[in-house]
Amino acid sequence: MRVNQFVELKSKQLAHYVRAFLARQVEYSELDMFVWDTLEEWGQVTIQKNEAYSEKERVFWHLIHQVSFWPQDTLQTDSLLIDELNICANFICDQGGFPMDCIGIRP
């Protein structure tokens, strides 16, 4: 699988988990498990030397980082962070504009 295929496939899934977590429809452990499974699957992706990032890929990795970095209570209570997560989730699902200050990089 190539980078763009992986990002397209996983973006919708990531957005679903993030939105469901923020709506308190899934536990943090489910979101965390999805992130770890995604990182494991990433190891199977074929990356071309000097392959450029798409905007969607940058936001995808930024969103992965944010939900992995911040503790559960911060993710659920910090209104600015919640807004950022929703904006990123919308963008990777082709809804809305490019979020400001997204500097996601590949693991």
Q: In the numeric block, which tokens belong to residue 107?
A: 């693991």
Q: Does residue 103 lie within any of the structural domains?
A: no
Task: Please answer whether residues 11 and 92 qualify as being in contact, where contact means their C-beta atoms are separated by less than 8 angstroms.
Answer: yes
Residue 39: inside a domain: yes
C-alpha 15, offset from chain centre: 7
CA distance 76 to 25: 12
On whether residue 101 sits in a domain, the answer given is no
User: Which two structure tokens, joined as six digits, stand for 9?
Assistant: 């496939």
- Domain presence at residue 20: yes
Q: What is the tally of structural domains in the chain? A: 1
Output the DSSP codes for 68-90.
HHS-HHHHHH-HHHHHHHHHHHH
pLDDT at residue 65 above 90?
A: yes
Asked whether residue 107 is assigned to any structural domain, the reply reads: no
> Residue 28 falls within a domain, yes or no?
yes
Mean pLDDT, all residues of the chain = 96
Whether the predicted pLDDT of 100 surpasses 90: no
Q: Domain range spanning residue 65?
A: 3-92
pLDDT, one tens digit per residue, over 19-54 is 999 999 999 999 999 999 999 999 999 998 899 999
Position 46 in a domain: yes
